[in-house]
Every structure is written in structure tokens, then in C-alpha cells.
Structure 1
Amino acid sequence: MTLDLTVEDSRWEAVNLAALAERAVAEALRHLGLDPDICELAVLACDDGRIATLNADFRDKPQPTNVLSWPAEDLAAATPGARPALPEPDFTGEIALGDIAIAYDTCAREARDQGKSLSDHSTHLIVHGLLHLLGYDHIRDPDATLMEGLEVEILGILGLDDPYREQDGP
């Protein structure tokens, strides 16, 4: 697998985002029936300021968010709740998946607010972003159910808890 990681915010180094992302992406791709060895993607590890600019430029939403994705191709299924088609290798035998950006400030705040480790929450968001690259979405309810179910399965393979399970109150 070719994972091009650009770290713009050095705070990401504390969670070893390179190793975390490689493991999460490889397991997710295998789970979905893709060979990680022929896939490539880029991950930008940035801060809230940078992701707010990207969110404004690409989604007309001038505020920070946790993760953004830019798929190399549109793989979305036309039917709500249907699985997207798997991407095919290009003439070189590689599959270009696209780009993901993840924001430290928002991820750290969400992890703290949800009582999760930053590593676990970041792993979830990398998997979430990768699923977006592969045509999954959560706009329509049936699509959200499918995507969230896959996230739970993949995170389980990685030894992480269901991020959608209701937490017990204090």
C-alpha cells in the first residue's frame, strides 16, 4: 500500500498517525475485499485552521470539521443502502483511492468529550474517511446504516469498541 502522509501539525506525532493510518487502512481494505498492496491514498494531518480553509474551499462550509475526503472516483451506489462498486486498478495495476484530511484540534476535542483515546478516535475517523473514498456516505438513512455497520465491523477487527454504542451516563 502506498500511503502518502503529510503531517502539517506536529501534535499528530504523539499518536504515531503513520502507523495507525497504515494499519486502519490495510485492515479496512482487506475487509472490503481489496488488496492493500495495490492501493494508494494520501492523508493530510493538519489543524483546525487548515481544515476550515479546505472545508470552505470544497464544501462552502467555513468551519473546522474532523475529517474530509476527496475520492479519486465517484463510486457511490445509486440505490440507498446498496454497497458501492469496488474500484478497479488502472493500467499500472494500482488503485488510486483519493485524499483524506484530518484535523488535530477537532479530533482531540471530540475524543476528550466522548471519553475515548485520541488514537482510537483518529483510527475511527481514518476508517470513516476511507469509506467515503470508496463511495460510502451517511446522507441517506440506509446509506448511514450501511456505513456505520462497516465502521463497527472494521473497528472490531482492529480491537476497538463500537463508536456508535450509547455510553453509560456518569
Structure 2
Amino acid sequence: MQFTPTALEGAMIVDLQRLEDERGFFARSFCRQEFEQLGMNSDVVQANVSFNVNKGTLRGMHYQVAPALETKLVRCTRGAIVDVIVDMRESSPTYRQHIAVELSAENRRALFVPANFAHGFQTLEDDSEVMYLVSGYYTPECERGLRYNDPALNIQWPVPVQHMSDKDAQWPLL
């Protein structure tokens, strides 16, 4: 795997290091030892799949607080998304800053989302599927969220928002 740091400390873009031959390629998409060597939490306890019928679907912005912190490794396995993360660590120099990364079945890129980062994505194609490896169990009482269109964040979603849950539409403004 190839790890590329982002502007938000601890968040990494993870690209496959492909071993190719006439059959196609082989690549490792997760290795606990490599993640731990980079100080990335690798305690995966859940694997989640999100299938999204329509382009423009928005999911997020979600995170969990202590004692149920979680990290995520997010990969788009079908279609394409723009994945957005927001640093919610109050002591961080990048507090409330965000980055956006395109993840697609074609680029096979993943994004490592550290604990205390809000996470969400918008589909860029119909029938997009996203796979998450998560280090913590979903704990409803520890769940928090940000409004996707909060002016304080100024996230520029690439296509008009077409579909989202009522819960995601009603997260409070910062």
C-alpha cells in the first residue's frame, strides 16, 4: 500500500500497490502491521457496506465521541463518490477544516478517517457502493453529526444534493 498524508493530520489517502501480470493484479488493501507502523488505529471490529441508488445521494456528516471513538477506512467498490472529512479535534490546528477526496471503483483509492473526524460522502454516479472498515461499534448515544451545508464549514459538494436521510438533513449548525 502507498500512504499519502493529507492536510489534516492523521488522515491518509491509501492507494494500492499493484502486482500486475497477464491475469490482472493483486494488491493488499489492508495490513494491520503497516497501519500500526504509521500510528493508524487498525482495530477493525465492523465492516459496513452502503449501497446508493442515485447520483447526488449524500450520507453524513457523522462521527462518534468518547467512549465510542472510531476510525474508518473507506473505499468505493462500485461507482464513484466524493468523500469529505472534517477535523473535530478541538485541540488540533486544523479544527473544523475539511478535505474532499474522490474515491471510485476505477481509482481503487481509500481514505483513512481518524477518530474525532466527521465523515460523509456524496455519490457521483448511480448505483455506487461504499465499504467501510470501522474500529468501533456503532453507539447511538455517542453519535454526533454536522449539517452538510453548514456555512461555517463551506463544503462545496460537487453535484446538487438529491437524496439524504431526514436525520442527516437536521443535524445542528455549528
More helix by share: 1
More strand by share: 2
**TM-score using structure 2 length:** 0.29
Bigger relative contact order (CA 8 A; separation at least 6): 2
**TM-score using structure 1 length:** 0.29
